[in-house]
Amino acid sequence: MKERLDEMEKETTKDVAESVNYFTKWFKSIDWDAVISKVISVGLEILVLIILYFILKYAGSKIIKSFFKKYRRNPAVSNNRADTLEGLILNFYGYVLFFVFAILILQNFINVTAIIAGAGVASLAIAFGAQGLVSDVVTGFFILLERQLDVGDSITLDTVNGYVENLGLRTTQVRDFDGTLHFIPNRQIMIVSNHSRGNMRVLVDVAISPKADTEKAIQIIEQICEEEKSSNKNIVETPAVLGVESSDGTNQVIRIVGTAVNGEQFGVQRDLLKKIREALLKAGIDLPIATPVVKTAQT
């Protein structure tokens, strides 16, 4: 038994010695001066490329922003449109610059051209996987071309309501009214409801007691509407009293319709409701406990 163990120990020692000898020969066969020189050369080249990348990114962004700063001075150009174009061009410039420098850095380690040329099935798989990306870019291009959206627009996309914060090549960013930022792939944008195009129609339903003097209430409301048109620059058209919209045993509803500057409709309707309510109460018109109904629609 002891002899067998001694024999195994000798064989193990021999194998270890051969491995060490092989590794030593391999290590000595390496031209370390050439390796170190290559590492330094490639390292310096990559460092220069990285520095150049950040310089070009900074300089390019400055030039683009400077151009759009002058572009905004054109009275025919809206700030929202300028913000949209600026964000999209910055986005595109960043993608192209990153792709170019990534290829330049990879060429220090692999033959990128040969890989791309001989990829075959891999290229097909990549192309299939990139269908979504291409669809996002194409859809984003047509959204921009048709001016469906601009930065700052109030929109509804399916179940998302909010303001457009950024329109990029791949995604559109929408800030919800509660502060949530939604990233929506452009290809998923099917129906766009843009609330920032044109003036907004304001519909106000004011409920009064069924026993109240309707004609007197309408006269008071018309007077308030005239006063508000004169004092509130955000009212485009004088609110018109359409008359009694509905009536039952608990109240009768008087409808008022007006037009407000886009984005100011909520302030207009708050002021209008406040003034109407105060005037009706002051004139002795009884109001029900129910809160008046306010509706807005786009013209």
Confidence band for 144, pLDDT divided at 50, 70 and 90 = confident
Residue span of the structural domain in which 168 resides: 129-194
Q: Specify the pLDDT at position 51.
A: 92
Q: Specify the pLDDT at position 15.
A: 66
Nearest one of 174, 172, 147, 178 to 80, comparing CA atoms: 147
286 and 219 in a single domain? The answer is: yes
How far apart, in whole angstroms, are the C-alpha atoms of residue 265 and residue 258?
Answer: 9
pLDDT in tens, 20-74: 677 777 766 666 677 777 778 878 888 898 999 999 999 999 999 888 888 888 7
Lowest-pLDDT range of 29-33, 73-77, 205-209: 29-33
Q: In the predicted model, what is the mean pLDDT of the chain? A: 80
- Boundary residue ending a domain (95, 118, 141): 118
Q: Specify the pLDDT at position 7.
A: 64
Residue 286: pLDDT above 60? yes
Contact (CB, 8 A) for 88 and 142: no
Element (H, E) at 193: strand 192-194
Q: Specify the pLDDT at position 115.
A: 60
269 and 183 in a single domain? The answer is: no
38 and 26 in a single domain? The answer is: no
Which amino acid, one-letter code, is at 22?
Answer: Y
Higher pLDDT among residues 290 and 79, named by residue: 79
12 and 40 in a single domain? The answer is: no
220 and 172 in a single domain? The answer is: no
Kindly state whether residue 124 falls inside one of the protein's structural domains.
no
65 and 150 in a single domain? The answer is: no
Residue 167: pLDDT above 90? no
Q: Specify the pLDDT at position 2.
A: 60
Kindly state whether residue 123 falls inside one of the protein's structural domains.
no
Residue 181: pLDDT above 90? yes
- Boundary residue ending a domain (89, 118, 147): 118
Average of per-residue pLDDT across 112-139: 64
CATH no. for residue 256? 3.30.70.100
Kindly state whether residue 66 falls inside one of the protein's structural domains.
yes
63 and 137 in a single domain? The answer is: no
Kindly state whether residue 145 falls inside one of the protein's structural domains.
yes
Average of per-residue pLDDT across 143-155: 84
Confidence band for 151, pLDDT divided at 50, 70 and 90 = confident
Q: Specify the pLDDT at position 291.
A: 47
250 and 179 in a single domain? The answer is: no
285 and 217 in a single domain? The answer is: yes
50 and 84 in a single domain? The answer is: yes
Confidence band for 292, pLDDT divided at 50, 70 and 90 = very low
Kindly state whether residue 274 falls inside one of the protein's structural domains.
yes
DSSP 286: -
204 and 287 in a single domain? The answer is: yes
Residue 175: pLDDT above 90? yes
Residue 157: pLDDT above 80? yes
Helical spans, DSSP H, in the chain = 2-29, 32-71, 79-106, 112-117, 121-129, 131-145, 214-231, 265-282
- Boundary residue ending a domain (83, 118, 153): 118
Average of per-residue pLDDT across 253-260: 89
Residue 229: pLDDT above 80? yes
Kindly state whether residue 260 falls inside one of the protein's structural domains.
yes
Query: What's the token pair of residue 295?
Result: 């509706």
Q: Specify the pLDDT at position 231.
A: 84
Dihedral class, residue 147 (left if φ above 0, else alpha if ψ from -120 to 50, else beta): left
- Per the structure, how many domains does the chain have? 4
209 and 289 in a single domain? The answer is: yes
- What are the phi and psi torsion angles at 171 (to 5°)? -130, 160
Q: Specify the pLDDT at position 120.
A: 54
Higher pLDDT among residues 75 and 159, named by residue: 159
